[in-house]
Chain A
Amino acid sequence: MTVSDGYAWAAIGGLVVVVFVTRNVFMALPRRFQPSGTLERALRVAPLAALVALTVPAAAEAWLAPGAGWLEAWHDGRLPAAVVTVAVARAAGTPFPGLAAGIAVLLAIGGLG
């Protein structure tokens, strides 16, 4: 399965623009348009919420599948790996130890096959 060249490069070109614009929205704006007060505080958690929303359904997939048994879901290993990753990264205050521990749990419970 491959993605056609024209389609892929059109998508990539658009992604470059989207990423450039999202990272620079406030660069070009005068100070008075920059968020302040409650809005600013509220916006600070948006990145966290987005990252959680991206990852949690994938981590819990085996548990959410219709008709999934508990034993089966446990042997999937993704949810425990995710929990360990977050817990260790939080305790360490930096991502890498969490990632290493999470991969170790994933390998130990279900392997990568």
Chain B
Amino acid sequence: MEAPLKPQASTTARPDGAEQGFAWDAFASGSQAIGSTVAGTFCWGLVTGVAMVKGGLTSSQALGMVVLVYSGTAQLAALPLMSAGAALTAIWVTALLANLRFVVYSAVVATEFRGLPLAQRLALGWMTTDTGLAAYYGRSAGGAWEASTGDEPVRRRAARFLGTNVTVYAGWSIGSIIGVALAGLIPDSPRIAFVGVLAIMALIGPMLAARPALAAALAAGIVAIVGRGWPWRMGMFAAIAAGIVAAVAMAAVAARRPTAPSAPSVPGGPPR
């Protein structure tokens, strides 16, 4: 499944006059940066594949979801609405809200690949994943966005980014396809579906390093619980807004205290 994705970054001439051809060594280092995290992606894909079939999709529909949509949160958010036969617009808006973080990621990724042709940027943007982006920046979450890529040429950055995200895509797709195939062997249980929720929570954990992030998570969690019955997933929208406000407030408080320690980067990640 890697094949269709590689040529997009391998055949285009660079305006900066750099060496032509695809930087396979950068691709490999990006792939290695993902490391064992791909096992988690595989598990999440597996669970999501099972959930798609348990939610009432046929095998081909479920495969279409995991391979084409390629977004666990969008799929898991849309699934209950599809099972209930909700309006298409409601499904799409829910997926949009559930995936708002990718709008933010696109702002970050866009600054990385400025100068590449639009088609390549769009392809790289579509491949963006939580874990892939985190690994690309050296695994830290809270401080990831400050990471500097120095003088690395853009085509090598693109190859490295592709290396992380193609690996994630492979882990995700293989897990999902196995999940779809084996769904009939696994008993229908909301507790198994909850494993997918745990996978998202496992992604949340490393993000909770800096105080603004903790404040955002606390506020979002409280508002999400209060608003869990609200129509149109407005509770979730309100929770995101509350999280943003809480983080900004916490950052403002911290900024007023010059002795307050600055936000630490995520500890414990193996250096890669």
Contacts and interface: CB of A to CB of B under 8 A. Distances in A.
B is a partner of A: yes
Interface of A: 1-3, 5, 7-12, 14-20, 22-29, 31, 34-35, 38, 40-60, 64, 78, 81-82, 85-96, 98-99, 102-103, 106, 110-113
Nearest to A91: B268
A96 B200 contact: no
Interface stretch (B5-13, B22-30, B110-118, B149-157): B110-118
B224 interface: yes
Given A16-B69, A43-B244, A54 B77 contact: yes
Contact of A59 (B69, B101, B201): B201
B37 A94 contact: yes
A89 B206 contact: yes
Q: SS class of chain B's interface: helix, strand, loop or mixed?
A: helix
Contact of B247 (A3, A42, A50, A57): A42
Contacts of A10: 88
B262 interface: no
Contact of B203 (A20, A51, A112): A51
Interface string B197-236: 1111111111111001100110111011100100000011
Given A15-B92, A26-B103, A46 B244 contact: yes
Contact of A44 (B139, B145, B268): B145
Interface residues of B, number: 104
Interface of B: 36-37, 39-40, 43-44, 55-58, 61, 64-65, 68-71, 73-78, 82-83, 85, 88, 91-92, 95-107, 109-111, 113-114, 118, 121-122, 124-126, 128, 130-131, 139-140, 145, 187, 189, 191-192, 194-195, 197-209, 212-213, 216-217, 219-221, 223-225, 228, 235-236, 239-240, 242-244, 247-248, 251, 266-270
A5 B102 contact: no
Contacts of A42: 244, 247-248
A52 B189 CA distance: 22
B240 A53 contact: yes
Contact of A45 (B61, B205, B216): B216
Contacts of B124: 27
Contact of A103 (B69, B195, B236): B195
B61 A8 contact: yes
B220 A52 contact: yes
B131 A3 contact: no
Contact of B205 (A2, A17, A19, A86): A86
Considering the complex of A and B, which 3 residue pairs feature the smallest CB-CB distances, nearest first? A89-B205, A49-B243, A47-B101
